[in-house]
Amino acid sequence: MIEQLQQGTVEWGRATFALTALYHFLFVPLTLGLSFIIAFMESMYVKTGNDEWKKITKFWMKLFGINFAIGVATGLILEFEFGTHWANYSWLVGDIFGAPLAIEGLFAFFLEATFFAVMFFGWDRVSKGFHLFSTWVVAVGSNLSAFWILVANGWMQNPVGTHFNPDTMRNEMLSFLEVALSPTAIDKFAHTTAAGFIVSSLFVMGISAWFILKKRNLRLSRVSIVTASTFGLLATMFIILTGDKSAHDVAHTQPAKLAAMEALYDGDSGVGITAIGYLNPNKKLGDKEPEFIGPTVELPFALSLLSFHDFNAYIPGMNDLVYGNKERGVMSASERIEKGKKAIEDLRSYKKAKESGDKLAADAYLASFRENEKHFGYGFLKNPEEIIPPVGITFYSFHLMVGLGFYLLVLFAVVLHFSMIHALENQKWLLWIVFLSFPLGWVATEAGWIVAEVGRQPWAIQDMLPVSIASTIIDTGSVIAAFFLFAALFTILAIAELGIMIAQIRKFREEDHV
Amino acid sequence: MTNIIKMYRDGFSRMDKTSRRLWIIILIKILIMFGVLKVFFFQGYFSKHNDKPPEEAVFENLMRLEK
């Protein structure tokens, strides 16, 4: 009975969290990237004294403000969910999440209360230099604010710098620096902020292209499109580098995710990447069915090279991780489940011995628990196959994200080229492509989050806590109600943002602004 | 200090229609989040079930779910 109730709660809790996070991340990337684009534009205004730059800055700042106002505080809902739907998880990670989230909260509050106000209200009340300073503080501060959230997320993917205390049932921080500067957190931050730059560059380019197609606001659009395509091109080149670093990190810390991203069932040396392919829906772990149906496009040795910077590196496949590969030193999931169950039993015995005041026995059980502690989370799994995330959604989301990344690289380069030779306005086909491409940054970003979060299933905290155990034992009905409430609330907010922005863009005439 | 207060006061009083609408959206959103969602749906598991310390409750939950 508990198991059935729990299953429903877990699935709806996950759906609610996914919905909230995906909606929240419609607003975040625009704040991260547009703030820097605006800061650059205002810097040009202060440097040149040309009022055109001021007009341009104010136009994009208005859209930035709309996005910020609609998106602000939507992330708090995720924190509500932690405390209610994921209480076991919240307690277990409390000390680790507490510090980064508190820093983020304080940071955001002071930033918003002071420098945002100067940015929007201070144009004619503070000096040019101080206004510019405020705009840059908002840009840097928003991104640093995101850093602390990504530190928390990075820790869930690769829990470092902590120690599990069986008395308090919490993970306690051993080294703040190790948590904050973990390679997983840094890669995540670099990759996510670069994605925000790309989304924002496409946003600026899309609206500018629409203006040019309508033969309106041409001076603003020309300047904006050059600025945005330059930012976008640089960000896309940077994201390819950070993507390489992320793949390297995933290969070391989340091998099942990497195998699912590439639908790699049987490990090998010198593994390639299947750039294009259609997954065989009948393929199952341990069978001999082919992984793909129909023709595929493969980049030989690429996965080994990306993952371990070695053409011939061995990459374990999903079968190796589930059933083990002694030759390659890969422990089977069954063995890890057994060790995990031993750790759980030792924890239970430790608690009993502690309660009855038997210190000697308690110490012995604790020592035995520590031996198998790194397999602890596996002890909660029912069968070995559970360690593999859903392959289809992980594989396709990953390929969609990467494919769009390369498409956008070409798009930014082509747009910049035509802008520099002053020929963009004659290329209607290109302007339409730019306009129609502007949601693609969001699509790629959301796909990236799907890879990161679905790809780490079954874990809430890698190897430590499966999602099924992280969830609270509560009535499924209230979780379902929360899901539909959020769906309604966020849909209304997204429609409001779209409506207000479209109205603002439509009514803008550069001639009316000084 | 007076200048800062004046900046806020003037800023709010001279806001255009869109900005006023955005502030209304922010206030309604915060009201729904803290007045409805937080109160009726997200009281926090441990503040609602406070019959035993959280560490005991979590330990018992984990052991129940493991079986």
pLDDT in tens, A197-237: 999 999 999 999 999 999 999 999 999 999 999 999 999 99
The alpha carbon of residue A138 is apart from the nearest alpha carbon of chain B, in Å, by: 17
Range of the domain at B11: 2-66
Interface A–B counts its CB contacts (< 8 A) at: 116
List Cβ neighbours of A40 (8 Å cut-off, separation of 6 or more): A227, A231
pLDDT given for residue A52 in this prediction:
92
Q: Mutate which of A68, A81, A88 to test chain B, going by most B C-beta atoms within 10 A?
A: A88
A162, containing H or E segment: strand A162-165
Could you tell me whether strands A465-466 and A459-461 are parallel, antiparallel, or unpaired per DSSP bridges?
antiparallel
Which is nearest to B29 in space by CA: A246, A244, A378, A72? A72
Low-confidence ranges of chain A (pLDDT < 70): 1-6, 109, 513-514
pLDDT given for residue A312 in this prediction:
93
With CA atoms as reference, the chain B residue closest to A6 would be B65
**Residue owning tokens 């209200």:** A121
The pair of three-digit structure tokens given for residue A16, joined into one six-digit string: 């609610």
pLDDT given for residue A108 in this prediction:
72
Tell me how many domains chain B contains.
1
3-state DSSP assignment of residue A459: strand
pLDDT given for residue B67 in this prediction:
64
pLDDT given for residue B52 in this prediction:
81
Judge if ipTM > 0.90. no
Find the mean pLDDT for residues B51-67: 80
Three-point CA angle A275, A278, A281, nearest 5°: 140
Tell whether B8 is within 8 A of chain A (Cβ): yes
Residue B58 in this model has a pLDDT that exceeds 90: no
pLDDT given for residue A6 in this prediction:
65
pLDDT given for residue A278 in this prediction:
95
Tell me which chain A residues have a C-beta less than 8 angstroms from the C-beta of B63.
344, 348
What does DSSP assign to residue A386? G
Q: Inspect the interface and report whether the beta carbons of A121 and B11 lie closer than 8 Å.
A: yes
Tell whether B61 is within 8 A of chain A (Cβ): yes
Asked if A450 and A393 count as a contact pair (C-beta separation under 8 A), the reply is: yes
Q: Inspect the interface and report whether the beta carbons of A87 and B45 lie closer than 8 Å.
A: yes
Q: Inspect the interface and report whether the beta carbons of B45 and A126 lie closer than 8 Å.
A: no
Q: For residue range A132-163, what is the model confidence (pLDDT) as tens digits? A: 999 999 999 888 888 988 998 999 999 999 98
